[in-house]
């Protein structure tokens, strides 16, 4: 059984490498520095007295609906639809002279990805906003967190503009999907390779 499994994995790795769009990770325009730690990635940019950090994790970032359909409806010779990774991402804005970090929790709404018709709509939304003490890795539940569901539209628009002014806009969100998808695929191939070595290990 293990031999067949290892053979299957070898073929699978070949296939995945064939469809791999990016041999190296795509860049995000606008002078963002990328750091990757396993499945977590961070994009950092500094502008006039501010540091903006965007953090996302590729785990569980591929919407489930895409996978379910492919099993049932796929005809043997059909190309598998491309899986796209749309991770939640957290934007942290630190100003040099304050002790607080403004944290904006953003995500891609599931139903809106792929609606090309509406040019005006944003491809990501802000879900929560809070202040956290700068430099502390553990966020406190005791800090007030603003949920945007019931938020005044004008305030929400200002928050979106605030992000856009710092380079987090639709273009950025598009490039983040591209980067995350490439990263996810790279990690998937690595996982298959590790699994193959594990299975072969006597």
User: Cα–Cα distance between 123 and 125 in angstroms, integer?
Assistant: 7
| pLDDT of 52 over the 80 cut | yes
Where does residue 103 rank: exposed (0-12), middle (13-18), buried (19+ CB within 10 A)? Answer: buried
Q: Which of 147 and 63 is assigned the larger pLDDT?
A: 147
Domains of the chain: 28-59+83-110+120-192 (3.10.280.10)
At 175, is the pLDDT very low, low, confident or very high (cuts 50, 70, 90)? very high
Q: What is the mean pLDDT of residues 140-144?
A: 79
Mean pLDDT across the chain, nearest whole number? 85
Neighbouring C-beta atoms of residue 9, cutoff 10 Å: 19
| pLDDT of 194 over the 80 cut | yes
| pLDDT of 132 over the 70 cut | yes
What strand order describes the sheet that includes 125-133?
Answer: 33-37, 40-47, 50-57, 89-95, 100-107, 125-133, 145-147
Q: Which of 116 and 184 is assigned the larger pLDDT?
A: 184
Beta-strand relationship, 100-107 and 125-133? antiparallel
Task: State which H helix or E strand residue 42 sits in.
Answer: strand 40-47
Q: What is the mean pLDDT of residues 121-133?
A: 91
- 3-state helix, strand, coil split of the chain in percent (to 5) is 35, 25, 40
pLDDT at 73: 45
What percent of the chain has pLDDT above 70?
84
pLDDT digits (tens, 9 = 90+) for 58-111: 999 988 764 444 444 444 444 556 789 999 999 999 998 888 899 999 999 976
pTM for the model stands at 0.84
pLDDT at 80: 57
């Amino acid at each position: 059984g293990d031999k067949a499994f290892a053979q299957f994995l070898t073929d699978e790795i070949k296939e995945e490498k064939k469809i791999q769009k990016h041999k190296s990770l795509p860049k995000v325009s606008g002078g963002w520095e990328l750091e990757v730690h396993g499945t977590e990635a961070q994009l950092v940019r500094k502008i006039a007295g501010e540091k903006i950090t965007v953090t996302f994790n590729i785990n569980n970032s591929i919407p489930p609906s895409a996978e379910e359909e492919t099993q049932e409806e796929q005809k043997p010779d059909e190309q598998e639809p491309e899986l796209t990774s749309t991770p939640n991402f957290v934007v942290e804005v630190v100003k040099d002279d304050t002790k607080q970090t403004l944290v904006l929790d953003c995500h891609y709404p599931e139903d809106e990805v792929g609606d090309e018709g509406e040019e005006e709509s944003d491809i990501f939304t802000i879900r929560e906003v809070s202040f956290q003490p700068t430099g502390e890795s553990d966020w406190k539940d005791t800090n007030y967190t603003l949920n945007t569901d019931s938020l005044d539209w004008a305030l929400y628009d200002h928050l979106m503009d605030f992000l856009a002014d710092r380079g987090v806009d639709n273009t950025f969100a598009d490039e983040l999907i591209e980067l995350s998808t490439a990263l996810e695929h790279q990690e998937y191939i690595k996982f298959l390779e590790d699994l193959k070595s594990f299975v072969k290990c006597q």
